[in-house]
Amino acid sequence: MSIGGQSDTSSERKVYFLTPEGFAKKKERLDYLRHVKRPEVADYIHEAKEAGDISESSAYEEAKHEQAKVEGEIIELEHLLAVSEIMTPDMHGVKDGPLQVRIGTQVQVESDSGATRTFKIVETYEADAKTGLISDQSPVGKALIGHREGDEVSVSTPGGVTTYTIRTISPML
């Protein structure tokens, strides 16, 4: 099995780890697209066709463009959900408290200015910086991954370099 979006050498398939909430949100979005948005767009296309010559119809072109977007998102979500596993407290050895920052951990850090922040490390598909869910591929996530409590890490951001000291690491779930 692979860890955190890395290739599984036996099948070359990526496995993504999502929180139970993140998995449910993706499933809810897929259901909405399949059962609400897809039929809605099909109705728009049908109406545009009935309105007359579709060769010069901007409404028809817009509806077809929207249909392509919806179908693309459906395919992406179907794939993501098919290759995702729901995180559990014992996955990645976090059952007894993780020693290193990794996907599925909550990390409390103190910046060089003394400010304390808490980050939850997740896969890119679930990241939402506003709620503290940061991707393992973000600048902060990349800097924290693999480090332990007490370690200092430097992060280059558009605002400059910030140094964080890792105060605590705990399972997210």
CATH (domain of 53): 1.10.287.180
Query: Do 81 and 98 share a domain, yes or no?
Result: no
Q: Residue 59 — pLDDT band, cuts 50, 70, 90?
A: confident
CATH code at 151? 3.10.50.30
User: Distance between CA 107 and CA 170 in Å, rounded?
Assistant: 7
Tell me the C-alpha to C-alpha distance, in Å, between residue 9 and each of 35, 82, 142, 145. 36, 18, 23, 22
Provide the domain limits for residue 141.
91-171
CB-based burial label for 39 (10 Å; 0-12, 13-18, 19+): exposed
Query: Do 157 and 95 share a domain, yes or no?
Result: yes
E strands, 80-159, are: 84-86, 105-111, 116-122, 133-135, 152-157
Global confidence as pTM: 0.73
pLDDT tens, 10-42?
Answer: 445 588 889 898 999 999 999 999 999 999 999
pLDDT tens, 63-113?
Answer: 999 999 999 999 999 999 999 999 887 765 545 555 789 988 999 999 999
